[in-house]
Structures are given as C-alpha cells and as structure tokens.
Chain A
C-alpha cells in the first residue's frame, strides 16, 4: 500500500476575472509515493507544484480524482477524520517559516503529538531528542522570533517528524534560506527521512536538491513527466 496515491487528479480554479471561466492547473495527474523513497517535483513557478502537494496532504480538494492516504480516500472523510489522518500519517514542511509564533521551539515540535492526544511527558522526550539530533538542544525554549531562518526550518523538520508519519510533504523547504543553510537543511532532511524510513514528497525549484531524491518528476503542461527514478502510475 502506498502512503499517498494520487489517482487522476484534476484541479481547476475559478478565474479571477468574471466571464473567463475556469483555469486548469492539474489535468489527470497520477502519482504514487513509494514507502521509504524520496520523490521530488520540479517545475516553473505557477505550474501547480504547491497545489499538487496540498492536494496530496488533504489541505485542498481536487476538482476530479481521488487521493488515497494509506488506502483511505480523503474525500470520503469528514473534516475531523481527515485532520486525524493528516496528523498521524503526514508531516508538513513549508517554504516560509510557518511555526507557531507564540510557542517556543520545543512546544512547536510537541504540537502535533499533543493534538493527537499523546501524553505531554512522552511528547517532550521525543521532541527534545529530535531537536538535539538537529543541533537545537540549546534552543529548546527560544521563540521562533529568536531563531535564525535555518534553525526555524530545522524546527519545522522536527515537527514534521514528531508523530513518526509515513510521509513528509515538503514545499520548498529551502526556498527562504541562504546557500549554506539550504545545503545543511537539504542534507538533514534527506538523511533523517532515510534513517527513519519515511517517504518524502518534495516540491522545489532547486534542481540539485531535487536530483538527490530517488524519483524526480517535472510538472509541465498540467501533468507530471518522469525525470529520474520510478514512473508515474
């Protein structure tokens, strides 16, 4: 069973101007994320990479097609069950430093586990271990505003891994970082995903980063074309 499977996904948006009908972003896209493998999607800005990632994570709904998460169709679930599935099986990393501003690094990492209803003491233990592993042992009680861009992104990686999800969805995780920090975060993310046996679906402009992944797809003309590794189904 694939952790995430996209079947004939089509996504259309209503045009901003009246009378222009709908704009098709994705057309009949199929993609299976293989357990333990990393998959990258590259493409031009506005090609629909982020939209595809959000659909894969159940943050957005497709106009047509199905998204299966561990064999469960997202569209068949109500908001509560969909949120539960997202919480337990999917970890998100966003381009911007999307951390909870009023919570320190440790609390940010603990958040998904607390939402899942796990005991605070257990959550704390795992969160501290993850943060220490990513070199943030001294920054546990720092608020996001007191962390550098690279540190924030490392906190976001820890948060994505907190609930030990099968799949990590990363939307331009190094987009807002300088070259050194970007390289550090890239390596950390790929190493962690491999070490922990997670799957990774990465959306990036950075071709070097993308081609470090097992599979690379190009999103072009509303559909995916294989550039490296496996193949679309």
Chain B
C-alpha cells in the first residue's frame, strides 16, 4: 500500500515529459471549477437569504393564524412567540384626489404598535417622517413617485369587496397621506399601502382579520401549541403563504446547481482526457510495474491514486481560494466596478449588490464530495486503458 501511495504521489508531479505541467493544469482546472461552484452557490445563498429575510420581515409572517377562538393576546403568551398581532389584508383602488392618478393596490392593516416592532423598524422597512397619527394612510415613496402625490394629499381608497355597512357596492373612503415608507422590495412598495387596523375593521368588519405571528423559537412547537388550544384554527407558515415565490426561489437554486454541474461535467471531460495523456506518458512505467510484480489492479490503483492526489490538492486550493473570494466578494466586485468605470466611464451594478454572499461548511463539504466523486469517476474512465493495454506490447515498443 505504501508503495502504491508513494508511486501515486511521485507520478502526480513527475518531472518527465511535461507530466508536472499537465498535472498542474488539471489541478488548477479542478480548483477553478470548485471556486466557481462555491462562489456562485454563496452568491445565490446570499440572494436567497436576503429575499427570504425581506419576505419574512414585512411581506409575510412566520405564521398566519385564522382562529375564531384565539386572540392575539392568547397567542402572544405562548412560548416561542416573539410577536403576535391582528392584521387584515385586502385589495383596494387608490385615487389621488389632487393629481387624479389612480392605481390598484392592497391594504395591509396592522395594530399601531406593530410599526415600532423590531421586525418592522429594522433595516428593511423605513418609515419617514415619524408618524403620530395612524388614522390616515402610509404610502411608499415608489407609489408617491408614480402617482405624483405629496404629504397630506387626500386620496380616495375604494375597497374592492363589500363593506360592513355597504354590502352591495364597493365602499370608498377619503384619507390623508400621513407618512411615507420605503423597502428594498420594489414590487412590494409599488403595490402596498398601510392603514390602521381599527380603521379597516370599522369598514370591513373582523371577518377577514387574522393573527400574524413572529416566532423566535421552534415554529413547529408554536403550531402545536396553537392547535392544542384551537384544533379548528387555520395555520399557514410563511413558506405556504408565499408558496409561489418560495418554490420559485428553490427551483432557481436547484436549476443553478444543475447548470453548474454541467459546467463541472465539461471540466471532468477535460480531466478524463488529461488523465489519458498522463497515462500515455506513463504507459511504459505501468508495463514495467506489471513486469516486476504489480497486478493490473494495483497499477490501476497507482494511476487512480495519481488522479486522486491531483484532485484532492485541486479541491484544497479551490476551497481556500473560494472562501477567500467569498469573504472579499464585495471588495472584488467594487474593484471590478471601478475598473469598468475607468474603462467605460459608467458604473455597473456590481458595486451595488445588496446582500452578503455566504456558504455553510456542510454545503462546501457537499460540493467538494460531488467534485471529488465526479473527478474520481472521470479519472477512472481515463484509466480504463490500462486494463486494455498488453504489457508485452508496451515493453516491446519501449525496447525498439
């Protein structure tokens, strides 16, 4: 075994017939492939995390509870619940009475104290200026721009469902714009306005009211606790509530992995051909090893080991450089952006990436294992020729 390992190491970086440069080329190829896989995974992770965080901050809640028995106070007292509050969401038509512009939108109606909660007042949601009176409407800066409205403008809000008092025709109410908010989700900002919960309940009644729950502990335990108190409660997780977007994000990640796997497959075909080249250089040595007592399998193991050594070193290089690139991605992108600016005179979007690329150790291990298995498979395919070669023939060729 020691001889096999020693030979594998020796052959991996043999100085004869340009073997070392071929090995280094394979090693760098594997490293580059791995770096690409890790960096793109990290970027996708960052993008996904940012999107999902945004989704969970404002677009959704960890849990949405529809219960006729439980109140928000009941849910708030449960272990693992960070915050629970009433909310109503409904579609409206908005007309700015000053400019006459209109748009369809949805109203999110929360309890007043929710706006000052950690989740809402975090980096994602910014409410300016400070709002004292919630008995109006909060509009995004995006909508403000598109409708051309100003502070204290009056807007007509038409609820697109029967109201509590007017049950046949849509109910309309004129409200002042009391404040503006901004989020990083353009689509959300462009399509959402906020109102006070009591105001909307006064118009639509409590039938559509649900309890939004932010969970700090185990989500499943909270679900269990709610169902224990009200078995008929309807509970939706944020993933279920945003099923379409969540599934799209997951699909996006899966597809990305598949495409990256294809890219690595191309690297592997190159690996197979390079292994064949290495073996062609070492065919005589293989024959000699057979002549002095190595079995076909042992010779194959030596050459597979040679591929293994190159692959492992490539992976180590790939992981180290990959992690460095991921850790400094913002700087690297800013540098590229600066170079692009110097050459073209205009900025790229690279300098504005609003998330942190990150990758977990488990994911790195998985990617490495995938790369390792694929590399080993293609090295083995490259080594198949050893089984076919006749040693006597090789030795005779070497002799003449």
Contact = CB atoms under 8 A, between A and B. Distances in A.
A80 to B, nearest CB: 4
Contacts of A172: 399
A102 B14 contact: yes
Given A102-B14, A115-B298, A120-B2, A92 B292 contact: yes
Contacts of B284: 98
B293 A59 contact: no
Contacts of B399: 50, 94-96, 98, 171-172, 175
A99 B3 CA distance: 16
Contact of B295 (A80, A101, A159): A80
Interface stretch (B334-342, B373-381, B390-398): B390-398
A98 B290 contact: no
Given A100-B285, A102-B11, A111 B3 contact: yes
Contact of A92 (B2, B291, B296, B396): B291
Interface string B273-289: 00000000000110011
A51 B296 CA distance: 20
A111 B292 contact: yes
Given A111-B3, A114-B3, A115-B3, A101 B292 contact: no
Contacts of A95: 399
A101 B395 CA distance: 15
24 contacts: A54-B392, A59-B290, A59-B291, A59-B392, A79-B295, A83-B293, A83-B294, A83-B296, A84-B293, A84-B295, A87-B293, A92-B292, A98-B288, A98-B291, A98-B395, A98-B399, A102-B10, A102-B11, A102-B285, A112-B292, A115-B3, A116-B293, A159-B292, A175-B399
Contacts of A59: 290-291, 391-392, 395
A116 B11 CA distance: 20
Interface string B154-194: 00000000000000000000000000000000000000000
Nearest to A165: B293
Contacts of A112: 292-293
Interface in A76-100: 79-80, 82-84, 86-88, 92, 94-96, 98-100
B289 A100 contact: yes
B108 to A, nearest CB: 72
A209 interface: no
Interface in A100-144: 100-103, 111-112, 114-116, 120
A102 B23 CA distance: 15
Q: What's the interface size class on B, roughly?
A: 20 to 34
Given A94-B399, A102-B11, A102-B16, A57 B291 contact: yes
B224 interface: no
B385 interface: no
Given A54-B392, A80-B295, A115-B3, 7 more contacts: A79-B296, A87-B292, A87-B294, A88-B293, A101-B14, A112-B292, A172-B399
Chain B interface, DSSP helix/strand/loop, else mixed: helix
A101 B17 CA distance: 11
A60 interface: yes
Contacts of A87: 292-294
Interface of B: 2-3, 10-11, 14-16, 284-285, 288-298, 390-392, 395-396, 398-399
Nearest to B13: A102
B9 to A, nearest CB: 10
Interface of A: 50-51, 54, 57, 59-60, 79-80, 82-84, 86-88, 92, 94-96, 98-103, 111-112, 114-116, 120, 145, 159, 163, 171-172, 175
Contacts of B398: 94, 96, 98
A101 B16 contact: yes
A103 B10 contact: yes
| Residue of A54, A84, A99, A103 with most chain B CB atoms under a 10 A cut-off | A54
A103 B8 CA distance: 12
Contacts of B295: 79-80, 82-84
A3 B248 CA distance: 74
A156 to B, nearest CB: 10
A83 B16 contact: no
Contacts of A60: 390, 392
A111 B391 CA distance: 18
Nearest to B398: A96
Contacts of A98: 284, 288, 291, 395, 398-399
Contacts of B15: 102
A128 to B, nearest CB: 18
B221 to A, nearest CB: 59
Nearest to B293: A87
A86 B291 contact: yes
| Residue of B2, B16, B297, B399 with most chain A CB atoms under a 10 A cut-off | B399
A166 B261 CA distance: 54
A120 B3 CA distance: 10
A5 B291 CA distance: 19
B14 A114 contact: no
Contacts of A101: 14, 16, 285
Contacts of A92: 291-292
B10 A79 contact: no
Contact of B293 (A50, A86, A103, A120): A86
Given A60-B392, A115-B3, A120-B2, A83 B290 contact: yes
Nearest to B1: A117
A103 B10 CA distance: 8
The 3 A-B residue pairs whose C-beta atoms are closest, nearest first, are A87-B293, A83-B295, A114-B3
